[in-house]
Amino acid sequence: MKKHLVILIIFFLVSPISWAAELLKVGISPLVVYIPKKSPRMGEDLSLMLSQKIKNPKIKIVPWKGEIVQKIEEAKKEGEKQGLDYVIMGSLTQIGEKISLDLAIVETGGIKPPVLIYKEIPSMEKLEVVSTEIAQELVYKLLKKKRITRLEIIGNKSVDKEAILAVMQTKEGEIFDPKIIRRDIKSIFKMGFFKDIRVEVEDFPEGEIVKFIVSEKPVIKQIIIEGNKVIKDSDIREVIALKVNSILKEHLITKSVEQIKALYQKEGYFDAQVEYKIIPITSEKVKLTFIIKEGEKAYIKKIIFEGNKAFKDKTLKKQMKNKERWFLSFITGSGKLKTDELENDVNRIANFYYNHGYINVKIGEPQVERRGTDIYITIPIEEGEQYKVGKIAITGDLLKPETELKKILKLKSGAVYNREQLQKDITALSDVYASEGFAYVEIEPEIKVNSSTLSVDVVYHIKKGIKVYVGRIEFEGNTKTRDKVLRRELWIGEGETFNKIKIEKSIEALHRLGYFEDVKLETQRGEEPNEVNLKIKVKEQPTGSFSIGAGYSSIENFIIMADITQRNLFGRGQQVTLRGYIGSVTQRYTFDFTEPYLFDSQLSTGFQAFKWDTEYIDFTKESSGGEIRLSYPLGYYSRIYSTYHYEKAKTADFNEEIASKYITELADGIATSSIRLSWRRDTRNRFFNPSKGMVLSGSIEYAGGFLGGDSAFNRYEGSASIFIPLFWNTVGFIRTKVGYIDRRGKGVLPLFEKYYLGGPNTIRGYDFATISPRDPETGERIGGNKMFLCNLEYRFPIFEKIRLFGVVFFDAGNSYDINQSFDLTNLKKSVGMGVRWFSPMGPIRLEFGFALNAEEDESTSNWEFAMGTFF
């Protein structure tokens, strides 16, 4: 058995041997000749003769370019220099009558020892014949390779053997190849886990045993952060590329240092310095310490513009994300230099100029200057001249006359050229074509600048392409909601002409269901060139809510209150509500169920059963009954409703001696049987927190008469709610509502059917149902037969990621007695503010209202808390 050990060092790993060459490159050094009578070039001639006789497609004989080599190390060095895989060297010796040829095959890489060949030659005349035999033997020795019988990985502790073998090409059972071994060493080094690799080869008759002996880098057992005060350890550890129990890698340490510096720079600490120390714990474990010198924080003191004449500094600063520091910066976070946003700020300013006709504006690179802890940013500007819109033309495949298409454009001749508006006009034209099925329409604007007249001519070239139809419509993400619940909300179906407007309305309809946190659309090419598949991705949100409360009273003792609502029962789109009030004396409940698509038709139905008490200021209404509802759509946004309502109710919890006759006359109870016809149009873009659209409604209710019961009245109501998208993702909201109720004939108009305002859903800041006409004799609130209400709100995002919004509001309204007319100069008013949280449990609102013109016995302010749908 032969054993040889090679310690591979760096210069060996980068030897110039070509891995890509398939041929063995072999050079034959001139032989050393020890013969008494020899010619001067006999050694070179012998080398050339052997070169000519070695013929094999796998061997390339490279002409020798160097001096004669006589030592093994000289052969290796010269072979590497000439780019050879093997060097053949040797001598021809004559002692007496005996002539011998001694050759050595030297591997330039040095993995294995030289292969020796010895041949006796009878006479010099036989040299030619013998050299042919020697050449054949050389070919055999050069190409004869042994298989690897065993492959061992030694020294690995933290890194799995399989992970090392995965990056290697050397395999058991394959031919031993030094080039592949050298390549494997490189691959193992690239893993980054090892500081040293050695290879041992044991030569046996049956094959080679190859051992890769690795020495691992140490493991990090502890990471310590020192010197940080303004940034928490946890925040710094998030950006460190190394973790505890990971292998120590120098390049990741360098990366971690840069990331920590970048973290400090984001906070305004541009002088922060980060160093590190590696402290050995054992030979295999280390402690890594990052030492931070934070320095002083720097803020943007001044943003300076040079060369701007058309716009003031204040106007340009509004376009930037980088802001100057001011006294509220500790709240807004302004004043920090965001270096990654500086280039974007330049683009924003340039776009602002482009959108105001300055098409040749040049914004220079911002110059950032540090003066102590103050930062000054200077931005040079060359405005150029302002351009206006010249001629506008539309050419190509026109679906409508050019004059009609031009009406769609907002950019008009004579107006200041606006690049952003140009893009919006292209989108508007595209929508026209996409609504007719041309989903792949191409609209290319041609811009012609007229420097002499300072005008820009615009020509829209239109290629409508092929008409496209909807192929498959698929849904993704609806793990609970059934496909048919989503599909029945769509305005477009499979096989219909592609219509962008209908598709957008379909997405809005899905939003309005209130089942999904997000709805996204993906279009994909269908199987046919004129087909488009629609994939609608939804992200479901909780559609159920549950609340529970407890209390105590002298009458009921312990009380439990619970409310359970599910708006998407079993994923079928059905809505059910169960509300309960359980005390030792009284049990109250409400059960409500709605089926929006009865038997998969457009008809919606629902019913309610209840036994409930409503507490007013001067009395309590105890009632029980139920109702049945039917509704049917009119077009895409409107529905008509028909509701039959039956209720038995009476007044309770009042002082019989001083109570108003309107209260006492209902103490024995009264039955109300009514039908209500109503209409509702809802164009909101989503169910919760809409940003645009409106809700319009009107209703007529008829009670008594042929329906029976004790009550007899007619009620007329109308309301309008409008959502207006404003700047910075804020929304304006306006709601107005009017109502009128009139007793009919000799029937009864119960006071609890009249109008009372005040509370979270009408006029905030006033107690519930306290805004009402009063009995002139007792002063008790008896409700009005007329009502007017107006709510104004401004809603703004506080933390959009968790869907937390703020609101400021103004409420006004009043209810009027039968002998009073509508008087909009006599309104109760309130102002206030609050927060809305669209939580996983359902919508939650907390608001504080301040009454502006409350009476002496009315509340002047109130906190309002509610869960459920917002108006």
The per-residue DSSP string of 25-91 comes to EEEEPPPEEE-SS--TTHHHHHHHHHHHH---TTEEEPPP-S----SHHHHHHHHHHHT-SEEEEEE
What's the start-to-end Cα distance of the chain, in Å?
92
Average pLDDT of span 661-680: 93
Residue 286 has pLDDT above 60, yes or no: yes
| For residues 457-473, average pLDDT | 94
Average pLDDT over residues 521-550: 84
Residue 2 has pLDDT above 70, yes or no: no
Across 308-324, average pLDDT: 93
Residue 509, φ and ψ in degrees, nearest 5: -60, -40
Residue 543: predicted pLDDT: 83
Residue 1: the pLDDT is 42
Average pLDDT on 428-450 reads 92
**Is 60 exceeded by the pLDDT of residue 352?**
yes
The dihedral region occupied by 111, where left means phi > 0, alpha psi between -120 and 50, and beta the remainder, is alpha
pLDDT score of 7 more than 50: no
Residue 868 confidence (pLDDT): 53
Architecture of domain 148-216: Roll (3.10)
For residues 552 and 674, the model is more confident at: 674
Token pair for 576: 């059910």
In b/e form, how buried is each residue of 281-309, taking b as 16+ CB within 10 angstroms?
eeeeebebebebebeebbbbbebebeebe
Query: Mind listing the pLDDT tens digit for each residue in 111-149?
Result: 678 888 888 888 888 888 888 888 887 876 777 666 788
Q: What is the pLDDT of residue 357?
A: 95
CA atoms within 13 A on the CB side of 684: 22
Lowest mean pLDDT among 125-129, 316-320, 476-480, 738-742: 125-129
Q: Give CA–CA dist 780/662, Å, rounded.
A: 9
Angle among Cα 808, 812, 817 to the nearest 5 degrees reads 155
pLDDT at residue 714 greater than cutoff 70: yes
Per-residue pLDDT, 786: 95
Identify the band that residue 600 occupies on the pLDDT scale cut at 50, 70 and 90: confident
pLDDT at res. 8: 35
**Token code pair at residue 604:** 């919606």
Place of tokens 């943007």: 300
Name residues whose C-beta falls within 8 Å of residue 73's C-beta, 6 or more positions apart in sequence. none
Position 15 pLDDT exceeds 50:
no
Q: For the chain, how are helix, strand and coil distributed in percent, rounded to 5?
A: 20, 45, 35
Q: Is the pLDDT of residue 242 over 50?
A: yes
Q: What is the pLDDT of residue 202?
A: 86
Fold matches, 299-382 and 388-463? yes
Q: What is the Cα–Cα distance from 567 to 841, expressed in whole angstroms?
A: 12
DSSP string, 575-640: EEEEEEEE-SS-EEEEEEEEESSGGGSS-EEEEEEEEEEEE-SS-EEEEEEEEEEEEEEETTTEEE
Residue 5 pLDDT more than 80? no
User: In the predicted model, what is the mean pLDDT of residues 625-654?
Assistant: 93
Two structure tokens written together for 113 = 């020892």
Give the DSSP H or E segment for 271. none
| Whole-number Å distance between alpha carbons of 130 and 120 | 9
> What is the residue type of 588?
R
Confidence (pLDDT) at 733 = 96
What is the percent of the chain where pLDDT is above 90?
51
Contact status, residue 821 vs residue 772, Cβ threshold 8 Å: no
Q: Which of 409, 405, 337, 333 is nearest to 366 (CA)?
A: 337
Q: Average per-residue pLDDT in the chain?
A: 87
Instruction: Tell me which residue of 584, 619, 590 sits closest to 606, measured CA to CA.
Output: 590
Query: In 3D, which of 657, 559, 620, 617 has the Cα closest to residue 758?
Result: 617
Average pLDDT over residues 662-677: 92
Residue 245 has pLDDT above 80, yes or no: yes
- pLDDT at site 565: 84
pLDDT at 861 over 70: yes
- Count of C-beta atoms within a 10 Å radius of residue 703: 28
Contact 814, 757 (CB under 8 A): yes
- pLDDT tens readout for residues 189-207: 988 888 889 999 887 766 7
Please give the pLDDT value at position 415.
Answer: 95
* Domain 2-143 indexed as CATH 3.40.50.10070: yes
The architecture in CATH of the region 388-463 reads Roll (3.10)
CATH architecture, range 219-293: Roll (3.10)
Over residues 739-755, the pLDDT tens digits come to 999 999 888 999 999 99
Q: Cα dist. 410→414, 418, 511 in Å?
A: 12, 10, 29
The model's confidence at residue 657, banded by pLDDT at 50, 70 and 90, is: confident
684: β partners: none
Averaged pLDDT, 529-558: 75
- Yes or no: domain 597-867 corresponds to CATH 2.40.160.50: yes
Cβ(568)–Cβ(586) under 8 Å? no
User: Distance of alpha carbon 798 from its chain centroid, rounded?
Assistant: 19
Question: What would the pLDDT profile of 21-80 be if each residue is shown by its tens digit?
Answer: 468 899 999 999 888 878 888 889 899 999 998 888 888 999 998 889 989 889 999 998
Specify whether the backbone of 770 is left (phi greater than 0), alpha (psi in -120 to 50) or beta: alpha
**What sign results for the dihedral spanned by CA atoms 79, 82, 84, 88?**
negative
In words, the CATH class of domain 469-540 is alpha beta
Interval 424-451 mean pLDDT: 93
User: What's the length of the chain?
Assistant: 871
Closest CA to 284 of 234, 334, 245, 335: 245
Q: Name the band, by pLDDT with cuts 50, 70 and 90, for residue 837.
A: confident
Query: Could you give the 3-state DSSP secondary structure of residue 123?
Result: coil
Rounded to whole angstroms, the Cα distance separating 299 from 373 reads: 6
Q: Treating both helix axes as pointing N-terminal to C-terminal, what angle do 500-513 and 419-434 enclose, rounded to 10 degrees?
A: 90
Query: Does the pLDDT of residue 9 top 50, yes or no?
Result: no
Supply the pLDDT for residue 35. 87
Helix (H) and strand (E) counts in the chain: 16, 39
Q: What are phi and psi of 740, to 5 degrees?
A: -145, 130
Which strands form 516-525's sheet, in the order they lie side by side? 469-476, 531-540, 516-525
> Structural domain boundaries of the chain?
2-143, 148-216, 219-293, 299-382, 388-463, 469-540, 597-867
**What's the CATH code, domain 299-382?**
3.10.20.310
Per-residue confidence (pLDDT) for residue 57, from 0 to 100: 83
Largest alpha-carbon pair distance within the chain?
155
Those residues whose C-beta lies under 8 Å from the C-beta of residue 856, and which sit 6 or more positions away, are none
pLDDT tens per residue, range 767-826: 888 999 998 888 889 999 999 999 999 999 998 878 899 999 999 999 999 888 888 889
- The closest of 439, 491, 493 to 467, measured between CA atoms, is 439
